[in-house]
Amino acid sequence: MLERALAIPLHRAAQLAEPLLVQGPRSAGKTSLLRREFPAHTYFPLDDPTLRVRARQDPRGFLARLRGPAFIDDLHRAPELIAHLAAEPAAGRLVLASSRRLTLPLTTFELHPPTRAELERRAPLSLAMLGHFVPAAVAPVAAFAPWPAVRSYLDHDLPDLIRVRDRDHFERFAGLAAARSGQILDQQALARECEVSHRTAVRWLAVLDACFQTLHLAPAPLPFGRRLLRAPKLHLHTSDSFESQVIAALFCNAHHAGTPPNFSYWKDSNGLEIPLVLHSGTSPPVPVVVAPEPHPVAEARLRRWMQLAGVSHGALITNSPGPSRRSGILRYSVSQL
């Protein structure tokens, strides 16, 4: 059985005896993890029509009839129950799971497909260490094979979120969005390329986000007296972009540790760009440059930004290992994440 890093923060939060929500994409392992970690919780899957009807027709009564710890799966299938929980948060040892993004006044965690560190059964590089510490090289247990991309959301979630006749058009839109992964988001250009209205493009991007397919990075609010690009940057969790793969890996590692990350990017009108800026409380920001292979231009760009920001630590992530430290810049291989 694959050990998931999220199990530790889940048990820590469960000690408070308050409801927990675990959400994330389909086939990420939410049900398996929660049933294994909370075996004493009575299981209520809302893909069962009888349970779903009861939860939708009388959400208050449905919750009132629960006896002892309970695990309600597929919460997104009962909008009335979601609305009730938003208005009147439940009490007690209640665990909820959803394959669509929800906003509820509950302690919320995200579970994504297994990360490289989980598949290799080792601790990941924490964000607090990135730019400050390079872990010792550890041989993987076996040759690394990424977790296969999951497309089940297309069959299970799209029918509720878009019109059936738009399915093929939406899949083309998702493919074009994936081709733009790692780029500044231009909704108008994406809409034109897919031959849909701007409003439809905005709505379909929201669908991808609701199904945990995308990651949007806001621009870092650090002008340094320069004109900055203000549009968000789009990343897809499953794309061919090396930059997106690295950022998604760091994002998932942080969420599985129970610490949602504060990510942004930085780019000025002259083209100086830092793909990832890590923010942590009152600590100085840590710039991260991502490149498939180390290159002097990438290091020069990173060093220039560090001078502008007045920070002494930065990170360069590539496919290749190499000298780990140079003038405050620490180099990492993706195999160390």
Is 247 contained in some domain? yes
How far apart are alpha carbons 12 and 100 in whole angstroms? 24
Residues 178 and 80 in one domain: no
Is 274 contained in some domain? yes
Is 33 contained in some domain? yes
| Residues facing 236 on adjacent strands | 214
With a cut of 70, say whether residue 131 has pLDDT above it: yes
Q: Closest Cα to residue 229, out of 179, 176, 286, 274?
A: 274
The stretch 147-159 carries a mean pLDDT of 80
Residues 88 and 204 in one domain: no
The model's confidence at residue 142, banded by pLDDT at 50, 70 and 90, is: low
- The tally of domains found in the chain comes to 2
Radius of gyration of the chain (CA): 21
With a cut of 70, say whether residue 138 has pLDDT above it: no
State pLDDT tens for residues 288-331.
Answer: 999 998 888 999 999 999 999 999 999 999 998 666 667 789 99
Residues 24 and 168 in one domain: no
Residues 288 and 149 in one domain: yes
Residues 166 and 246 in one domain: yes
Q: Is 139 exposed, middle or buried (0-12, 13-18, 19+ CB in 10 A)?
A: exposed
Residues 260 and 128 in one domain: yes
Is 265 contained in some domain? yes
Is 105 contained in some domain? yes
- What CATH number is associated with residue 60? 3.40.50.300
Q: Closest Cα to residue 174, out of 145, 160, 153?
A: 153
pLDDT at 158: 86
Chain-wide mean pLDDT for the chain? 92
- Cβ(114)–Cβ(29) below 8 Å: yes
With a cut of 60, say whether residue 141 has pLDDT above it: no
Domain range for 126 is 116-336
Where would I find the H helices in 38-184?
A: 49-57, 59-64, 79-87, 116-119, 152-156, 158-161, 167-179
Residues 79 and 218 in one domain: no
Residues 185 and 265 in one domain: yes
Is 1 contained in some domain? no
pLDDT at 110: 98
Under DSSP, is residue 37 helix (H, G, I), strand (E, B) or coil? Answer: helix
pLDDT at 144: 61
pLDDT at 90: 82
**Got the DSSP string for 120-159?**
TTSPPPPTTTTTT--PPP---SS---PPPP--HHHHHTHH
Residues 103 and 185 in one domain: no
Among residues 110, 128, 157, the one where a domain terminates is 110
List the Cα angle 215/220/225 in 5-degree steps: 155
Sheet with 70-73, strands from edge to edge, namely 42-45, 70-73, 94-98, 20-23, 107-110
Among residues 46, 77, 110, the one where a domain terminates is 110
Is 289 contained in some domain? yes
Under DSSP, is residue 304 helix (H, G, I), strand (E, B) or coil? Answer: helix
State pLDDT tens for residues 94-115.
Answer: 999 999 999 999 999 999 999 9
* Percent of the chain that is helix, strand, coil (3-state, to 5): 35, 20, 45
The model's confidence at residue 133, banded by pLDDT at 50, 70 and 90, is: confident
Residues 121 and 99 in one domain: no
The model's confidence at residue 17, banded by pLDDT at 50, 70 and 90, is: confident
Residues 146 and 17 in one domain: no
Among residues 90, 110, 130, the one where a domain terminates is 110
Residues 124 and 263 in one domain: yes
- Cβ(315)–Cβ(135) below 8 Å: no
Q: Number of C-alpha atoms within 13 angstroms, CB side, residue 247?
A: 33
Is 37 contained in some domain? yes
